Amino acid sequence: MLRGSNDGEGGGRQAAAARFAGSSAEHLWRRLNALDFINRAMLFASVLFLCAVPSVIVLEALAGRNATTSAIRRFGLSHDAAAALSQVVTSPAATSATISATSYVWLVLGGLAGAAAVQELYEVAFELPGRGWKDNPRRLIWLACALLAMVIANRAGPWLLDAGGPLLLIVAALVGLAGFWWFTMWFLLGGRRGWRELLPAALATSFCWTGMMIVFRLVMSDSITSNYRKYGAIGVIFTGMSFLIAIGVVIILGAIFGVVWRERRSWREPQEAQEAPPAASATPVAD
């Protein structure tokens, strides 16, 4: 009886493996493994944490806003989580007084490093060579576009939520994110991939990003509170790093989805052409 049960389980596993082999899921997983996506996402998160996050904090201070308050509102943090975050992130009152010319230089350099990290992920995913410092003007322009998109999102978000509730906000976010990442891929890749080819990747990134934000909005408060109680201030950093790693995973996953979509379509079209029945030849009709 036990042997029969084991044989049945073994057969089920073999059948599942056979279905997985050659499927779109297997193709996607093989591509992600070839990219070593977890390690790349962790390196990407490190660059964001060291360069982009300080730049965002300085920008919030220059705009007269509190970076901590913005994060609390964006993730809907509880009172305990908000208090823990406030212990870690310096308030603009303490930051704005120390902003100097050097701070502005680091602001630009940090933004460039973040843009370069995003560009590198896309170049690796789409198997394109990097162009080094020559792309710095392009990165600066993209940074300006990203800041403009953030301003529009911050202004439109509360209005959409009041006008149509969470559903309208989610739909608008999906559309806006798809457009933003579609432009981001095309622009940072220098037009070396066409708009049509990049659309599936943009749509996948939009859905993954929206799902990521919903998940972190649900778990961020508990994660911050729990890690703060266990490890102190560094525990809040752990939670922040997990969010930054998730951003890297989302960008990579969206791009690789687009690559897999393109490759499977290119494989499928010749097969469909070969399997299509030949057109009936016209036979002359005798008078």
Nearest to 115 by CA among 83, 148, 86, 138: 138
Whether 143 is covered by a domain: the verdict is yes
Query: Mean pLDDT of successive 10-residue segments in the chain (287 residues)?
Result: 55 62 79 87 91 80 77 90 85 55 78 92 92 89 92 87 88 95 96 94 96 94 94 92 94 92 73 53 48
Whether 63 is covered by a domain: the verdict is yes
What is residue 67's predicted lDDT score, i.e. its pLDDT? 79
What is the phi-psi region of residue 4: left when phi exceeds 0, alpha when psi lies from -120 to 50, beta otherwise? alpha
Whether 214 is covered by a domain: the verdict is yes
d(CA 83, CA 238) in angstroms, rounded, equals 16
Residue 218, token pair as written in the block: 């649900």
d(CA 197, CA 200) in angstroms, rounded, equals 7
Whether 229 is covered by a domain: the verdict is yes
Residue 242, token pair as written in the block: 């997990």
- Which residues have a Cβ under 8 Å from the Cβ of 10 and sit 6 or more positions away? none
Whether 152 is covered by a domain: the verdict is yes
**Using an 8 Å Cβ cutoff, are 210 and 173 in contact?**
yes
Its sign, for the CA torsion 94, 96, 101, 104, is positive
Residue type, 94: A
What is residue 131's predicted lDDT score, i.e. its pLDDT? 85
- Which residues have a Cβ under 8 Å from the Cβ of 35 and sit 6 or more positions away? 124, 125, 252, 256
Q: What residue numbers bound the domain in which 180 lies?
A: 27-265
What is residue 41's predicted lDDT score, i.e. its pLDDT? 92
Whether 136 is covered by a domain: the verdict is yes
Report how many domains make up the chain.
1
- Which residues have a Cβ under 8 Å from the Cβ of 194 and sit 6 or more positions away? none
What is residue 5's predicted lDDT score, i.e. its pLDDT? 53
User: Could you report how far apart the first and last alpha carbons of the chain are, in Å?
Assistant: 77
Write out pLDDT tens, residues 86-129.
888 765 554 555 566 677 777 888 889 999 999 999 999 999 99
Whether 34 is covered by a domain: the verdict is yes
Whether 184 is covered by a domain: the verdict is yes
Q: What is the DSSP letter of 76?
A: T
Phi, psi torsion values for 126, nearest 5 degrees: -95, 10
What is residue 281's predicted lDDT score, i.e. its pLDDT? 47
**Using an 8 Å Cβ cutoff, are 84 and 224 in contact?**
yes
Nearest to 188 by CA among 205, 175, 172: 205
What is residue 282's predicted lDDT score, i.e. its pLDDT? 47
What is residue 157's predicted lDDT score, i.e. its pLDDT? 85
What is residue 36's predicted lDDT score, i.e. its pLDDT? 85
What is residue 60's predicted lDDT score, i.e. its pLDDT? 76
